[in-house]
Structure 1
Amino acid sequence: MANTIIVGIDFGMTFTGVVFASVNSEQPPIIVNQWPDGLASKTLSRIDYVDNGEPEWGFSAVGNPTYTWFKQTLDTSTSPGDIRDEEFESLTNQELARLPPGIDGRRIVGDYLRQIGRFVANLLEDEIQKGSRIQFQFSTPVVWPDSAHDAMWHAIRDAGFGTTFPGDIRLSSESEAAARYILHKEGDNIKTNDVFCICDIGGCTVDSTCYRILSKQPALRLEQICQSRGNKSGAFTVDLKFLQCMCRRFGRQFKHKFLKSDGLNSAFVRQFNTIKEGFDGTEGEHRLVIELEAEESEFYDPDNSEIILTRRDMKDFFSQTINESFSLMQEQRDRAKYNHAIVRHMCITGGFADSAYARKRFHKMFPGTAMRLVFPAAPAMATSFGSALIGRQDASFANKRSARSYGIYHKDLLPVHPNNKERRIRERNSMSVRYTKRFELLHSSTDPLEKAIQVFSVDHAKPPTDWNKLSGGRSKMEKLESLSIDLTAVPLNDHPQIGPFTQILLDVEATLNLKQGELNIKVSAGNHRCGECTVHTVWA
């Protein structure tokens, strides 16, 4: 059997991550960390159209202007101005949530994802040549309206996924993907019926969602407890506060020097990123090299051309993101409590969750509570890694077979074709199979209008051809459920009469979902729904 490769793609506002997972292997998914012009776990969600040829993207997009945060333009229900920060644009020479002339949101997203697709296809060239099946698993914000999800789908297709880059395309929510990653990492630390909250501190925004775990096997099933919430206080505010501080202390000459030395792509910013990532709140000063015409002060050492940052400076840079993230977590915890749910685990994802200082502050903000703070490994990769896990689970169910066969029985329920004695519900190797069949139910005027049809199972992966010929007879069959059929609203006079009986034609629709571990049975007579039930299934 050919292998299936899942490509989990987290196209974010500021960064994009890609993770590969093999369905036929127990090896953990592989994080892509080598990008054109950059070594990192994610590349920049950035593009420029400086040349007339193919646009530059990711770390290679250094033109003037460069466009980023353009994912937001797919959601026309929200004004990009609500998240745009003009001061940050001015300081970094970037166009935030803006569109190039003559290009709409679907086009710019498609142009960017096309470059991602080419990059991925090149990495998977050997697998493609071996005949491996490819499944692309994208994630989208849970708060998006249907129109934005639809725009994203079309942008993905415009980019060539499914055509130029052959393979299936699946979409899942970002919060569901992050939840899958967290539960994969946490294992038995988070149990069925537990309520947990995910706070994703991204580069642009902070988003939070609360879930209850309904089941973990045979598939993960989550119930969203309260509406997703978010605010514009992502990790970019740390950089913004830093640049504001530099402009305040050193004036226009800093901005000129900063932009002239490639701005966000400069060695100066790389120095600050190293300091930012290593800051844990302890005492000490931090120095960055940049040549300025400034006198010696507590903030600048002209002899060594170094800017001096104090512990207080660093704490101030972090404060807005930490405080507003904490407020969002508190709000979600309170909303869950209002809905009679107690948050047991607060899971913090996004690259900001790697900050030692942020972790210390969050622990101090939730002292002595029964709620666990969870910082998963590689939190920036939670969504892309989780997307790959979702895709791998979905693809693996295509090779599952139910370990049982299911049937329905009532003494007056007969197949429409007398020669067909079979009353079973046959399953196939698929995640979801829909079975439809018409039966006739003989109803006497003296019989009650509510009838109980029995749902049976038998432990045979291969369904029997005749339930009554099983070894041991019907005693080998396990009664699972009584499907109540209500004929009250059915116009019986519209159905044929056979002697003292009314011949009621019933349509049975059974959907076997191996992924959910459920068999759902619906019965109707004409346009009238008569009954429905759901039973849990067992797969091999």
Structure 2
Amino acid sequence: MTEDKVRHHIIVGVDYGTTYSGVSIIPSSKAGLNDIIQCDTWTGDGGGTTTALKTPSRIAYSSENGQLRENQWGYGIEPGVRQCAWMKLLLDKNAKASPFDDPDLKSDIDAGLISLPSGKTAEDVTSDYLKELYEHIMQTLRRKMGGVLDLTDIRFWLTKPAIWSDEAESQTLRAAKKAGFGSRPNVKDEICLILEPEAGALASITSLKRNHGAVKLKDSVIICDCGGGTVDLTAYIIEALTPKLSLRESCPPIGGKCGGTSVDRQLLNWMTKRYGEAFLELDEKSRGPGSEFMKGFELNKKKFGTNVPLTALSLQMDHDEDEFYTDPDEGTLVLNDETMKEFFEPVIDKIKALIQKQIDSAKEATGQDVNKVLLVGGFGDSAYLKSRLQTHLQSQKISVHVPHQSSWGAVAKGAVLRGLEAANVDMRKSRRSYGIVLNVDYVEGVHDRSESFTNEFGRVLVPNFMEWAIRKGTEITDKTRVSIPLERIVYIGQGTELRTTLYCCDEDAKTTPERKNEAVKEVGCIISDLSGVDFSSFEKKRTPHGDVVKLKFEILIILGGRQGTVSFQFCVGGKTVGTADIEFAKST
């Protein structure tokens, strides 16, 4: 056994969400779901404590609120202060919109409705929030472990949306490191990433398998993680239930930015259309995330679809009494079921379309009908959402389940189970294709001569052909490594950096283009260090611009590793010369 296998450590699952964040903890010596400790005590307003499975993903800066002596976060934010919320959505704002995204999201971002403090980026604010969360985790662990904590390694498993770009994943990892995760001296702390729906799958299926017959070997299931900002779906075949849960991904994950906050935006748009300036002139403290008005609406989202009456909302506006604004003196706004349906239905339509697409993709990939949809995530707890999906799917004989224990905490629990290796996805499918642009040898009758050029060594080449190293849907395990053999003309003495542009394509593998076109997007530049390369063994040539060598090398792409991001190595002559960093492209 390796030291990594036997060394005792703590596993911490961190579900950083758009609206709420949750934390689960387990020692590596424990067995599984029943042993997981969920953080449910948080700093509350006024220095007290609040008991809940999650804490709001919000932060209030003292620099923006003169009455605050220090930053406040989560439940500890005082009423009526300016605060940052939904900042997670800004981490991936450069990504191409999917057909399942909430169409109002981009316009709200462009209009500054999801705003950041002056001089801070989304990564900065995320890091500041995660710093508060990290310190809370460490305080919780210290109360339980005392000084032993300083001698114990911690493996942090952070969750990420399935639809995020590589840049957003990298930003999340950087933000976590800046926040303090994995930074303690004298121990071997580690940060790993796991897809939110994958974590939800591990927890929910582990929970369901306790109910005899609830899930069976070879079941084809879809996990629908309905969070505050995103809805992510993965499809699995259950390969083993004992001794530990083992899943195989049926097809690449899909998703859209159409979570619970999309219902909030429907409300805000409705208020703007109905009450105009009377609503818009209110400051963010009165109508924004964290306001009493939006807290009341959050309660109504959970009540809607049950027998519990909706709560009257508190909002003081300069407007006459009407059908909904029933008491201007008290600032009372009363919504009805029909109006709530108006807010929910556009979002549910997006979710139904996502589920249907994943059902069809899973059937095409495996030849097997999907028989279960499992809902996890905060919005996944919505009784109305579950009811609408059951109605939609009953004709296909697909049952809809919410884990017996609250789906709200399922993702953080699943992250811990993955770290404990009590459950795992043994095979995944690549979410997109990755490749580079090559110049290929000119072939008479095949290529257009006018596009060709002759390089320094006399080869006639044609540019802009794609070499796809990994195609969308390719099977990936924790040990997947893909090598791209390359040849480059390098000028000796003109720098030690070799830059190779990495591209991706979200199209299905069968429609991935042969040549670079508008469907091919730049991921960024892989930067390799040439300082350790011995050029003496390569073919050389003198040119008017200096001496050149024909450098033959490989870029090794590493996927499926525990860290959860794409990484690279630079190899020459079959030997690894060093790691290669990526500089992400900036969208225009």
Bin for the TM-score computed over the shorter chain: 0.5 to 0.7
Match of 1:115 in 2: 132
Among candidates 29, 36, 42, match of residue 36 of structure 2 = 29
Give the aligned partner of residue 393 of structure 1.
421
| Per-residue deviation, residues 53-108 of structure 1 (Å, max 9, x unmatched) | 9754334567546253336526865579x87736656999542xxx6555455444
2:72 maps to 1:45:
no
Indicate the SS of the match to 2:350. helix
Q: Which amino acid aligns with 1:374?
A: H
Match of 1:272 in 2: 297
3-state secondary structure, aligned to 1:320 = helix
Show the 5 A alignment for 1:346-425: 346-376=373-403, 377-393=405-421
The answer on whether the counterparts of 2:163 and 2:256 sit within 8 Å (CA) in structure 1 is: no
Partner of residue 7, structure 1: 12
- CA shift digits 1:191-218 (9 cap, x unpaired): 2222111111111121111111223344
What whole-Å deviation, never above 9, does each CA across 1:143-196 have from its counterpart, x for those lacking one? 445554444333322222222385333332222211101111111522222211
Helix, strand or coil at the partner of 2:374: strand
Higher mean alpha-carbon deviation, 5-14 vs 268-277, is at 268-277
8 Å CA contact 1:74–1:152 kept in 2: the answer is no
Q: Which amino acid aligns with 1:273?
A: E
Check the 8 A contact 2:204/2:410 in 1, yes or no: yes
- Classify 1:261/1:326 alpha carbon distance in 2 versus 1 (closer, same or farther; 3 Å): same
Opposite residue 21 of structure 1, the aligned amino acid is I
> Structure 1 stretches of 5 or more lacking a match?
397-431, 434-514, 516-526, 528-540
The change in CA–CA distance for 1:91 and 1:267 in structure 2 (over 3 A counts) is: farther
Q: TM-score, normalised by structure 1?
A: 0.64
The separation in 2 between residues aligned to 1:183 and 1:35, in whole angstroms, is 28
- In structure 2, the residue matched to 1:136 is 156
* Distance (Å, rounded) in 1 between the aligned partners of 2:38 and 2:266: 31
* Structure 2 segments unaligned to the other structure (5+ residues): 1-5, 45-49, 425-477, 480-561, 563-573, 575-588
Q: Distance in 2 between matches of 1:225 and 1:345?
A: 14
For the 8 Å contact 2:15–2:159, the answer to whether it is kept is yes
Q: Could you say which structure has the larger radius of gyration?
A: 1
Distance 1:286 1:119, change over 3 A: closer
CA distance in 1, matches of 2:169, 2:316: 47
Aligned residue number for residue 203 of structure 2: 181
Matched, 1:153 2:173: yes
Q: Is 1:338 equivalent to 2:350 in the alignment? A: no
Say if 1:85 and 1:39 are closer, same or farther in 2 by CA, change over 3 A: farther
Corresponding residue SS for 2:312: strand
Shift of residue 385, structure 1, vs aligned partner: 1.0
In the alignment, is the contact (CA less than 8 A) between 2:258 and 2:347 conserved in 1?
A: yes
Amino acid at match of 2:91: T
Decide whether the 8 Å contact of 1:7 with 1:137 is kept in 2: yes
Distance in 2, Cα, partners of 1:90 & 1:274: 28
Whether the 8 Å contact between 1:201 and 1:234 is mirrored in structure 2 is yes
Native 8 Å contact 2:237 2:247 kept in 1 = yes
Q: 1:316 aligns with which of 342, 345, 348?
A: 342
**Whole-angstrom distance in 1 between the partners of 2:93 and 2:277:** 36
Counterpart Cα distance in 2 of 1:395 and 1:169 = 18
Q: Which secondary structure does the structure 2 equivalent of 1:189 belong to?
A: coil
State the secondary structure of the residue aligned to 1:163.
coil
Change (3 A) 1:292 1:100: closer
Aligned partner letter, 2:190: D
**Alignment-mate amino acid for residue 389 of structure 1:** L
- 1:373 is displaced (CA, Å) by 0.8
| C-alpha distance in structure 2 between counterparts of 1:235 and 1:65, whole Å | 19
Question: Match for residue 511 of structure 1?
Answer: none
Measured in 1, the distance between the counterparts of 2:124 and 2:282 equals 34
Distance across 1 between alignment mates of 2:93 and 2:271: 34
Cα pair distance change 1:257/1:92, threshold 3 Å: farther
Using the alignment, how far apart are the partners of 1:272 and 1:254 within structure 2? 15
- Equivalent in 18, 25, 28 of residue 20 of structure 1: 25
Q: How far apart, CA to CA, are the structure 1 residues paired with 2:253 and 2:265?
A: 26
Alignment pair present for 1:198 and 2:223: yes
Q: Which moved more, 1:61-70 or 1:309-318?
A: 61-70
CA contact (8 A) 1:263 1:269 kept: yes
Aligned equivalents of 1:381, 1:76: Cα separation in 2: 29
| Shift, 1:239, TM fit | 1.4
Q: Which amino acid aligns with 1:205?
A: T
Partner residue in 1 for 2:141: 124
* Aligned counterparts of 1:260 and 1:21: Cα–Cα separation in 2: 38
Between the aligned residues of both structures, percent identity stands at 29
> What is the one-letter code of the residue matched to 2:372?
H
Q: Name the SS of the counterpart of 1:124 in structure 2.
A: helix
Counterpart code for 1:22 = P
In structure 1, the residue corresponding to 2:12 is in which secondary structure? strand
Question: What secondary structure does 2:136 align onto?
Answer: helix
1:395/1:2 CA distance change after superposition, 3 Å: farther
| One-letter amino acid of the structure 2 residue matched with residue 47 of structure 1 | I
Matched, 1:171 2:178: no
Would you say the 8 A contact 2:244–2:423 is kept in 1? no
User: What is the number of residues matched between the two proteins?
Assistant: 397
**SS of corresponding position for 2:21:** strand
Report if the CA contact (8 A) 2:123-2:175 is conserved: yes
Q: Note the C-alpha offset of 1:383.
A: 1.2
TM norm structure 2:
0.59
Aligned to 1:290: 315
